[in-house]
Amino acid sequence: MAHRSPRELIELYWDEVWNNRRADLIREICADPIVRHDPGSVTALSVDDQIARVRQQSEKLEPYFSHEVLLADDTYVTSVWNMHTRKGERIELCGIEVFKAVDGKFTDCWNSAYTPGRWGREGDASVPDDLPAPALIASPDQITPQWIQAVLQQAGIAAPRISLLNTKPIGHGNLSATVRTEITYNANAADAVRSVVAKLTSGIGQAVEIAAAHDVYRRECEVYGFLGAEPPLKTPRCYWRQVGLDGRTINLVLEDLSDRTRAGDQIAGCSVAEAMAVAAELASLHAAFWDDPRLDRADWLYNRAAGAEAAYTNNTRAAAAFRERFAGRTDPGLLDAIDTVVADLPRHFAAIPHGRTLVHGEPRVDNVLFEDGAEGPRAWLIDWQFADRGSPMFDLAYFLAGSLAAEDRREIDHLLVARHHAAIAAIDPDYSLEQARAEYAGSLPLALYFTVGAILAMPPSEHGDRLLLTLAQRNVAALRDWGVV
């Protein structure tokens, strides 16, 4: 008896086994077992398993297959196929499968990943120009070529069809998970966006609860809309922003600056030149939005003063946790100073100056990207999760108190307060240097509150513990230098 050729086998497989739902024919055309090769895995399916699989899917969907390309020799046959369902809501898929035949039966099958839709034909657009808005996703493994394609289109960026992504985590985000996604296109992409940075929901449940309680996901997304298409300071372009209705999910896709910048290291701190670059960007931000009437309508701002009671409760818990974690690992005087400042928190919050501009709210050095140039470093601000309406001196105090070694800060803090004051006084001559200095000193305790409070969202780890201790030591030194403690 003559054996069926690979081409005859594939025609029976698609037309009879699948399209006409004759699953029992598998006994004639497939080996027992047939070896299925998928990306990263191999599965041996007995004839009975194959028949059961076909019957299950045929009953549920009634799929219908057609060849887009069919190529066969004496051993192998390749089918580039399209499929649509005939039962229920119509589903279209396409794929490629290669079969090996020995003695008239299929012994092996290689499967590509199945893709929604059908294979493109002449006249089809490379990328449809009416892609729907990206769906809200929950984790980095849901970032797909289709999702990024829609993000770029929604941002008004023309891009070739995306064929491949490579996504990797970056940074040490406490309240979000941040990833970098490299993009590969199926055409010349010399001028295309080659990578993006996405901030997604944290994988730490406690961090998500804190983020929701403080509305940080919505706030960060709102800030990018407030800053506009041409922000008055250096900050990454926002391609897409979306937040879940419950405030527990964030999808924020940003310009990737990693090829031209370097991330700040909070533990190492920054140099005097880098600190001056950050201060210049903060001054540009504060001057641009001084007395901006839109701040009155921005219900997403953090509003530290309104949260004073909750902050006192949380920081009291946090101070106890700080002492428990670091007792015997640091100077007892540091822990005593923390307890003293936290106990006085209501007075410090009551003294928060009336806000007259948009402030970043958490300008630590690891929320800054540095770009080296011929004229020195430039600073890009990122991570706007605690943006608020506040004193321009708040950002400056927060940054200098935590991002430099104490001896470096002492060298420049008075100078930078004077420069910052001058930038605001050029707009509002009634803003005095005396007022600026008082607001700077009055803002220093809030930097320590953020440091201490962060322990509630940071499980013990070598990096996290070093970060908290480093920040606390610098914060307390600044408080002592300015006579607050």
Using the predicted structure, report yes or no on whether residue 72 has a pLDDT greater than 60. yes
Checking if the pLDDT of 1 tops 70, the result is: no
Q: Which of 185, 188, 178 is nearest to 152 (CA)?
A: 185
- Tell me: the pLDDT tens digits for 213-266? 889 999 999 999 999 989 999 999 999 999 999 999 999 999 999 999 999 999
Other beta carbons within 10 Å of 331: 12
If one compares 123 and 419, the residue with the highest pLDDT of the two is 419
437 membership: H or E segment, kind and range = helix 433-453
How would residue 297 be classed by pLDDT, with cut points 50, 70 and 90?
very high
Three-class SS of residue 450? helix
Mean pLDDT of 368-392: 95
CA distances from 289 to 115, 284, 483 (A): 48, 9, 30
Q: Which residues contact 160 (CB under 8 A, 6 or more apart)?
A: 126, 127, 185, 186, 187, 188, 189, 192
- Report all structural domains of the chain as residue ranges with CATH numbers, in order of start: 6-116 (3.10.450.50), 131-259 (3.30.200.20), 260-481 (3.90.1200.10)
What is the per-residue pLDDT across 181-209, written as a single tens digit (0 to 9) for each? Answer: 999 999 988 899 999 999 999 988 888 99
Residue 2 pLDDT exceeds 80: no
CB 442 within 8 A of CB 398: no
Contact at 8 Å (CB) between 78 and 72? yes
pLDDT of 5 higher than 90: yes
Mean pLDDT of 46-52: 95
Q: What is the pLDDT of residue 471?
A: 95
Q: Read off the pLDDT band of 175 (50, 70, 90).
A: confident
> Does the pLDDT of residue 361 top 90, yes or no?
yes
What does the pLDDT average to over 405-416?
97
In the predicted structure, residue 141 carries a pLDDT above the cut 80:
yes
Average pLDDT of span 297-321: 87
User: Which residue, among 150, 159, 148, has the nearest Cα to 130 in the 3D structure?
Assistant: 150
CB 106 within 8 A of CB 31: yes
Cα-based distances in Å from 353 to 187, 288, 304, 311: 55, 19, 11, 17
Tell me whether strands 238-243 and 30-38 are parallel, antiparallel or unpaired: unpaired
Q: In angstroms, rounded to a whole number, what is the distance separating the alpha carbons of residues 119 and 91? A: 14
Closest CA to 241 of 300, 313, 188: 300
Answer whether residue 485 shows pLDDT above 90: no
What are the phi and psi torsion angles at 55 (to 5°)? -65, -40
Q: Say how far apart CA 103 and CA 101 lie, in whole Å.
A: 7
What number is the average pLDDT over the span 148-156? 97
Burial class (CB in 10 A: 0-12, 13-18, 19+), 70: middle
Torsion angles phi and psi, residue 41, rounded to 5: -155, 160
| Rounded mean pLDDT, 55-72 | 94
Q: What Å distances lie between residue 98 and 29, 46, 69, 223, CA to CA?
A: 15, 19, 12, 51
pLDDT for the residue 172: 67
> What pLDDT sits at residue 142?
96
The pLDDT score that the predictor gives to residue 270 is 96
The DSSP-derived string for 170-225 is -S--SSEEEEEEEEEESS--TTS--EEEEEEE-S-HHHHHHHHHTTHHHHHHHHHH
| Model confidence band, residue 171 (pLDDT cutoffs 50, 70, 90) | confident
Three-state DSSP class for 68? strand
Rg, Å, the chain Cα set: 30
Are 115 and 92 within 8 A, CB to CB? Answer: no
